[in-house]
Amino acid sequence: MRGGAARMFHAIDSLPVPVIGRVHGAALGGGAGLAAVCDVVVATEDAVFGFTEVTLGILPAMISPYVVRKIGLSAAREWCLNGARFSALRAQEIGLAHEVVSAERLDLAVERHIQLFRKAAPSAIAATKRLLRDVYGRRPADVMALTVDAIANQRVSPEGQEGLSAFLEKRAAAWTGRGPQASGPGTRRTPE
C-alpha cells in the first residue's frame, strides 16, 4: 500500500496521548524517524542514531517533516545529507533525544516520564499537542486567535474545571486517581 508508512508516522505524531520513545540499540533510518515523532525520547548511552537513507541511495522523505521540526533544518541538513551514525549524546544535543541514561536506568527513566504525564489532564495533553503543532513556525500575531480560543475552550472543559477546582481546593485532580470522581471518561486510575 503506497504511503502506508507515511500515514503511520502521521498517525503516531497526531496521537492525542504522550508518546515516549525507549531507545536501546540502533535507531537508524525509519527508527530515527520514529524518535522524531515521539514526544519524549529516552536513550541508553550506547544507543546509535542515524538518518542513513542516503547511504542506501534513497531519501528520508516520509520522516523529513518530523525530523526537520524536531531537530531543525541545520542539524537535519548535516545528518540527513551525510547519512552518518551519531551517538545518543549527539542526539540529545540536537533535540532528537531528551534523556540519555545507562542501560540499567532506562526503565526507571521511562517510568519517571510516565508518572509525570499521569499528573496531567488527558484532554489538556491532547489539546496542547495539537496546539504546539499548529503554532510551530508561525508568528505570535498570526496565531493569537488560535491560542486565545484554545485556552478558553480548555478552561471550560470538564477537565479544565476539575483542574482549577482541585487547585483551589488544594487536592489532587480526579484524573490522577487520587481526587474525587476519579473514574469516568478521560480519567486514569493509578495505584497508590
Over its length of 192 residues, how does the chain's per-residue pLDDT go in tens digits?
Answer: 578 899 999 999 999 999 999 999 999 999 999 999 999 999 999 999 999 999 999 999 999 999 999 999 999 999 999 999 999 999 999 999 999 999 999 999 999 999 999 999 999 999 999 999 999 999 999 999 999 999 999 999 999 999 999 999 999 999 987 665 444 444 443 333
* Catalytic residue flag (residue 53): yes
Segments making up each domain of the chain, as ranges: 4-115, 120-176
Q: What is the value of pTM for the model shown?
A: 0.86
Which of 76, 81, 72, 98 minimizes the C-alpha distance to 20? 98
Please compute, for residue 31, the number of CA atoms within 13 A of its CA located in the half-sphere on the CB side: 15
pLDDT at 2: 78
How far is the CA of 189 from the CAs of 19, 24, 107, 182, in angstroms?
19, 29, 21, 7
pLDDT of residue 3: 86
Going from the C-alpha of 85 to that of each of 29, 53, 88, the distances in angstroms are 10, 11, 10
CATH top-level class of 4-115 = alpha beta
Helix axes 30-37, 64-82, angle to 10 degrees: 140
pLDDT of residue 177: 78
pLDDT at 47: 98
Could you tell me if 49 and 24 are in contact, meaning their C-beta atoms sit under 8 angstroms apart?
A: no
The C-alpha angle with vertex 32 and arms to 26 and 38, in degrees rounded to 5, equals 115
- The single residue of 45, 53, 99, 111 carrying the catalytic annotation is 53
What is the second-level CATH architecture of the domain 120-176?
Answer: Orthogonal Bundle (1.10)
Report the side by side order of strands in the sheet with 99-101: 20-23, 40-44, 99-101
Query: What pLDDT score was predicted for residue 189?
Result: 39
Measured distance CA(37)–CA(34) in Å, rounded:
5
